Chain A
Amino acid sequence: MKPMNCDEIRDGLLELLGNELEPRKAAELQAHLDGCPSCARELQELGEAWDSLPDSIEAEPPLALRARVIGLAKAEIDQRSPSLLGVRDSVREIAGPVMAGAAGALGLITLAHFRGATAPLSQPLVVALSLALASGLALAVGGLMGARIRPPTRAVLTGSLAAFGGYVLLTAMLPISDTVHFCGLVLFGTLPLSLGQLCLTYLSVAALYAGVPMAIATYVWGGGGGGPSDDRTIGLTEGLVFTLLAVPLVLLQSGFEPWVIPLGAVIGFGFGAVAGGFAGRWTHLWVLRGAGG
């Protein structure tokens, strides 16, 4: 066995102080210490320094913190109890954001109707089919999810689904170009739109149809996160998932429109989705902090 040198001894001394030393290594150390007064003195002085520290540093936190922290835990459990997350509840949770998207869509279309646009409400069958499609998506994913999927994943799935449902609802009723015309008309009261107005229209549509339902879904499902990294992860993942879902529809419906329309839609909806995810997650954390007083 190769004898330990003084440099190697240093690690051993610390392990000895921390009771981490294996018996074999302890024997090697002892053999070195027996023949090395310098290291023996080092051990003695380190041991004295170590032993001079108080035995415990436990301290009683302020009493008010106990009620506050336990109140936070209780609020979080009450808000989202896993035992309640059966299929029916999952569907209910998902249906909410989708219906919010649908309500937003109907509101915007109604507003467009009163400002002189062609009334899409005269196509009740298309509206009903779109609602059924959006709800069917929600039910399908909700049924698959049950209670076993972790909340950040739920937040991503339901947020993307909610945005997608709102988007499907709108675009199934109208081609993408008509959608932009309607929304542009609501915003600017005139057609055709300039390029700048078109960009603003896409961002507004994104905020309403992607961001709002996604923020609601993320808020509702955001109970499992822990900090800023989760905000970022959830927001960006939602944006990616939703954009991947929306791209084929945007491209299919854009037809022969100028290149700016599909590109604007993808950028706009992606932006809305990311912003929605962040908004929902931050709101959730803000409410959670507020619950603790």
Chain B
Amino acid sequence: MLMERYARGDLDAFEELYRRYEGRVYGFCLRFLGDPDGAADAFQDVFLRLIGARHKYEARGRFAQWIFAIARRVCVDGVRGSRREAYHDDSLRATENTVSVDPVESLAHKDALQRLLQRMPAEQREVLLLSRYYGFKYGEIAEMTGSTEAAVKQKAYRAVQSIRRTRRDETGRRA
């Protein structure tokens, strides 16, 4: 186990962990937050927490489940933080009824997936990303998010429904 080797002070094990997870964790942060700067901050925060937890880590479940539980926590906090900042920013406050402050929007004009993701609430977005791209089972996602399996399934269902609606709308507009 790489994390256990790292816990014993093996820096090579950490580098290998980083190499294995950098693309996946950064991809998750980027898609969840939709903002490269925010994603870079979140990505660094995830690994900072991993470093801080070196001696506390217990190999109870899959490492991937553990690190993505951290990643989604950091990203959820990031979304909340950016909303708070937006609310307190006077320049945005004047136009908050007309301008979306969802951080996902900044990638949206470039990217069809991001357009789909921005239309769903963060809790559906995280379930969709974790199940579709990282292969977590709904029960595992429930553990990671502190929810129930039934609630996770419902969010996943709504997320896919949202994609279906978006596809339908876009097809209708093109026709």
Q: Mark A residues whose CB is within 8 Å of B.
A: 10-11, 13-15, 17-18, 20, 45-46, 48-50, 52-54, 56-62, 65-66, 68-70, 72-74, 76-77, 81-83, 150-152, 223-227, 285, 288-289, 292
Judge whether B157 and A82 touch: CB under 8 Å: no
Q: Can you spell out 21 A-B residue pairs with CB atoms less than 8 angstroms apart?
A: A13-B157, A15-B153, A18-B131, A45-B164, A46-B164, A48-B164, A52-B163, A53-B132, A57-B30, A59-B26, A60-B26, A61-B39, A73-B11, A76-B51, A83-B9, A151-B55, A151-B56, A223-B54, A223-B55, A226-B52, A288-B48
Q: State the CA gap A111–B59 with chains docked (Å).
A: 53
Inter-subunit contact A14/B157 (CB<8 Å): yes
B77 to chain A, nearest CB (A): 10
Measured CB to CB, the closest approach of chain B to A60, in angstroms, equals 6
Chain A nearest CB from B78 CB (Å) reads 14
B49: interface (CB < 8 Å): yes
- Rounded to whole angstroms, the CA-CA distance of A137 and B73 in the bound complex is 41
Interface of A is mostly: helix
Does B83 sit within 8 A of A, measured CB to CB? no
Which positions 24-40 of chain B face chain A at CB distance < 8 Å? 24-28, 30-31, 39-40
- Which chain B residue has the least Cβ–Cβ distance from A285? B52
- Chain A CB within 10 A, most for which of B18, B52, B137: B52
Count chain B CB atoms within 10 A of each CB in A54, A60, A152, A226 and give the residue with the most: A226
Q: How many A-B residue pairs have CB under 8 A?
A: 137
Residues of A within 8 A of B53 (CB): 224-226
The answer to whether the Cβ of B8 comes within 8 Å of any Cβ in the partner chain is: yes
User: Which A-B residue pairs are the 6 nearest by beta carbons?
Assistant: A224-B55, A61-B26, A58-B23, A49-B164, A226-B53, A49-B163
Chain A residues near B113: list those with CB within 8 A. 53-54, 57
* Pairwise interchain contact A52-B9, C-beta atoms closer than 8 A: no
Min Cβ gap B74→A in Å is: 10
A153 to B108, CA, bound (A): 46
Known interface pairs A53-B132, A65-B40. Does A73 touch B55 (Cβ–Cβ under 8 Å)? no
Whether B48 pairs with A20 at a CB distance below 8 angstroms is no
- Tell me what chain B mostly uses at the interface: helix, strand, loop, or mixed: helix
B119-146 vs A, CB cutoff 8 Å, 1 = contact: the mask equals 0000000000101110001100000000
* Structural contact, A227 and B52, CB atoms closer than 8 A: yes
Report if A72-B54 is in contact (Cβ < 8 Å); known contacts: A20-B137, A59-B23, A60-B23. no
A61 and B137 form a contact (CB under 8 A):
no
Q: What residues of chain A lie closer than 8 Å to B86, measured between beta carbons?
A: none
- CB contacts (< 8 Å) of B6 on chain A: these are 73
* B89 contacts A by Cβ under 8 Å: no
Check A53/B163 contact, CB under 8 A, given A70-B14, A288-B52.
yes
Question: Is A49 touching B160 in the complex (CB atoms < 8 A)?
Answer: yes
- For the complex formed, measure the closest distance between the CB of B90 and the CB atoms of chain A, giving whole angstroms: 29
Chain B residues whose C-beta falls within 8 Å of the C-beta of A73 in the assembled complex: 6, 11, 14, 18, 47, 51
Please, which residues of chain A bring their CB within 8 A of the CB of B22? 60-61, 66
Complex CA–CA separation, A20 to B28 (angstroms): 22
A186 to chain B, nearest CB (A): 39
B56 touches A57 (CB 8 A): no
Q: Is B68 interfacial (CB-CB < 8 Å)?
A: no
- A-chain residues with CB within 8 Å of residue B18 when the two chains form the complex: 66, 69-70, 73
Instruction: Give the complex CA separation of A224 and B58 in angstroms.
Output: 12
C-alpha gap A224/B14 in the complex (Å):
16
Given contacts A58-B23, A58-B27, contact A82 B153 (CB under 8 A): no
For B150, list chain A residues within 8 Å (CB): 11
**A157: shortest Cβ distance to chain B, in Å?**
14
Q: Chain B 153-172, CB within 8 Å of chain A: the 1/0 string?
A: 10011001101100100000
* Chain A CB within 8 A of B2 CB: no
User: CA A17 – CA B137 in complex, angstroms?
Assistant: 11
Specify which chain B residues have a CB less than 8 angstroms from the CB of A57 in the assembled complex: 27-28, 30-31, 113, 129, 133
Contact of A224 with B11 in the complex, beta carbons under 8 Å? no
